[in-house]
Amino acid sequence: MKINTAEFIISNSDVSKCPKELLPEYAFIGRSNVGKSSLINMITGRNSLAKTSGKPGKTQLINHFKINSNWFLVDLPGYGYARVSKKTKATFQKFITNYFEKREQLTCAFVLIDIRHEAQKIDLEFINYLGENEIPFCIIFTKADKISPRKIEEHVNAYSAKLLENNWEAMPQHFVTSSTKNIGRDEVLDYIAAVNQSIFSDQ
């Protein structure tokens, strides 16, 4: 898929105020500081579409970007950021949950996970939440340039084993990416293009 246009549409914390258009939406979410904004900019080929920051927790609203006039990329707040207040965490959790459970246009959630680390409890809990609520999702491993190819394979296999322990029948669809090396961009976009084609051909 070639990205011809990427347009910011709206930021808000109220699902009812999200765009009304019946276009497929792909939501990007992950633990804070997982490299979400850099990944979004890499995927769209826009250096500053999503605001990057050295300070975790920069994204605090539901951000809609219309891509190629026929699908939405949705940038959601990171979860598990320890330095925000409990009240702020609760607020984030509420509108993130509302988005996932009420947004009919949601086509797929991309759960971002830092490939350098072992499986984190908070990521596994979120993945299990998506599974329990039958929300379609894929995993995107980020920062693949930071470790060796052998370590990448080991960490993906370890993650797969951990999910099998959590009663998953198989490892979900996943992608290995690096924003700095432009790794995984085509694979993610090809996946979105294939899903979109399936959706539009059924209409």
Return mean pLDDT, the chain.
89
Mean pLDDT of 92-118: 91
CATH of the domain at 195: 3.40.50.300
Q: Note whether residue 135 is domain-resident.
A: yes
For the chain, the domain total comes to: 1
Q: What is the pLDDT of residue 54?
A: 45
Q: Note whether residue 25 is domain-resident.
A: yes
Q: Note whether residue 1 is domain-resident.
A: no
Q: Is 133 helix (H, G, I), strand (E, B) or coil?
A: coil
- pLDDT tens sequence across 14-26: 899 999 999 999 9
Give 175's contacts (C-beta < 8 A, 6+ positions apart): 138, 139, 140, 141, 184, 187, 188, 191
For the chain, state the CA radius of gyration: 16
> Contact 13/61 with Cβ under 8 angstroms?
yes
Output the pTM of the full model. Answer: 0.90
Q: What is the pLDDT of residue 22?
A: 94
pLDDT(50) > 90: no
Mean pLDDT of 84-108: 78
- pLDDT tens sequence across 51-91: 654 444 445 789 999 999 999 999 998 776 545 556 655 65
pLDDT(92) > 60: no
Q: What is the pLDDT of residue 117?
A: 93
Tokens of 137: 């999702």
* Structural domain boundaries enclosing 23: 6-202
d(CA 32, CA 92): 12
- pLDDT tens sequence across 140-198: 999 999 999 999 999 999 999 999 998 899 999 999 999 999 999 999 999 999 999 99
Q: What is the pLDDT of residue 57?
A: 46
Q: Of how many residues is the chain composed?
A: 203
